[in-house]
Amino acid sequence: MPIVEQSGLNWAREIDEKETEIEVNEEGYKKVIEYKTENEKKYKITNVFRVEKVRLPKSVAQRKEWKKFGDSESDAPGLNPATTIITDEVLMQFLTKKEEVEKTETPAPASVSAIKCRLCKGDHWSAKCPHKDILEAKLAAEANQKETAASASTGAYVPPSRRPGANALTTAGKKVDFGKTLNKDDFSVRVSNLPEEATETDLQELFKPFGKVTRVFLAKDKTKQVSRGFAFVTFSNKDEAQRAIWGVNDYGYNHLILKVEWSK
C-alpha cells in the first residue's frame, strides 16, 4: 500500500532545518529572523536593521577583511552583533601647542595683603614702621595745625596744650621740638623697583657719592628674607637728597630701572 504524504507546510520541520532567516528589502532595511528554544518552547525573534553605506579609509576596509579566528572563525566579514558590542561614542578634544602655552603663561592673580600701615601705607604693621617716630610726629603736627586753623576761623578758645609748639618735649634735660624732628623726613627718599638680591650695603654704596647717608631701610619679605623691591634712604640734608634723586632716578641697576622720589 503506497504511503501518501500529507499536503501543507510542516512549520516545526522548517524551523529545525532553518534556524536563521535574513531578508533585505529595497529600502535598505535588513530583517534577521532567529528561532530560539527555551523550556521546550520555540520562540521566533525578529530584528530589523537599517543598512547604510559609509565610505571608509582603505586601511579600515582592509582590516575588516582579515581572517577571523576562534569562535568567530566562520563569521562573515564585518561586525557580528552577537559577539561585538559598540559602546558609547567618546569625543576627544585636541588642543594645539599655542593654546597650551597661552594657558601656562596666564599670570596668577597677585595676592592682596590685608596688612597696611596707617603711617606710610606700606604692607606691614604700624608698630613696626621704620619711619614711625617721624611720621607720628608729622601727623600730630598736621592735626594741631588743622585744629588751630579751625579755631582761628571760628574764634573759639584754644587750650595751651593744643597751640602750635605745644608738642615740644623734654628729653634728658633738653627741649626737643617736633618741628625740628620733622625736617628729617624731608631728607628721606624712596627707592623702588629694586631687585630681590639688593642689600642695605648695596644701597649705601649706591647713594654714598651724593652725600652722607644717615639711615637705610630695605623692605624685606618675612619668609624669604629678600628685597621686596623698595627702600628708604635718609640723608643729612635736603641738598644731598635732591642730588641723589637727580643722579639715581631712571638709573639702570641690575637690568632694572630704579625709581627715586621724595618719601611721602
Q: Give the model confidence (pLDDT) of 107-132 as tens digits.
A: 555 555 567 777 777 777 777 777 77
178 in a domain, yes or no? no
pLDDT at residue 225, rounded to an integer: 87
Q: Locate cell 599655542: which residue?
A: 98
202 in a domain, yes or no? yes
216 in a domain, yes or no? yes
Query: What CA–CA distance (Å, rounded) separates 224 from 113?
Result: 16
124 in a domain, yes or no? no
106 in a domain, yes or no? no
30 in a domain, yes or no? yes
204 in a domain, yes or no? yes
211-254 confidence digits (pLDDT tens): 888 989 998 888 888 888 899 999 988 888 888 888 888 888 88
Question: Helix or strand or coil: residue 49?
Answer: strand
- Residue 215 maps to which CATH number? 3.30.70.330
- In the listed set 41, 72, 103, which residue is the last one of a domain according to the structure? 72
What cell numbers appear for 30 in the block?
A: 535588513
Query: What CA–CA distance (Å, rounded) separates 133 from 126?
Result: 11
pLDDT at residue 191, rounded to an integer: 92
pLDDT at residue 122, rounded to an integer: 77
Rounded to 10 degrees, the C-alpha dihedral 24/26/27/32 comes to -10
Residue 71's CB is within 10 A of a number of other CB atoms, namely 10
User: How many domains are there within the chain?
Assistant: 2
**pLDDT at residue 153 above 70?**
no
Q: Locate cell 598736621: which residue?
A: 142
Question: Helix or strand or coil: residue 60?
Answer: helix
Mean pLDDT estimate for the chain = 75
Domain that holds residue 46: 21-72
- In the listed set 72, 104, 138, which residue is the last one of a domain according to the structure? 72
**Which CA distances in Å does 253 have to 51, 112, 215, 232?**
77, 27, 21, 16
78 in a domain, yes or no? no
**Which CA distances in Å does 86 have to 45, 77, 80, 81?**
21, 16, 11, 9
Query: What CA–CA distance (Å, rounded) separates 120 from 263?
Result: 9
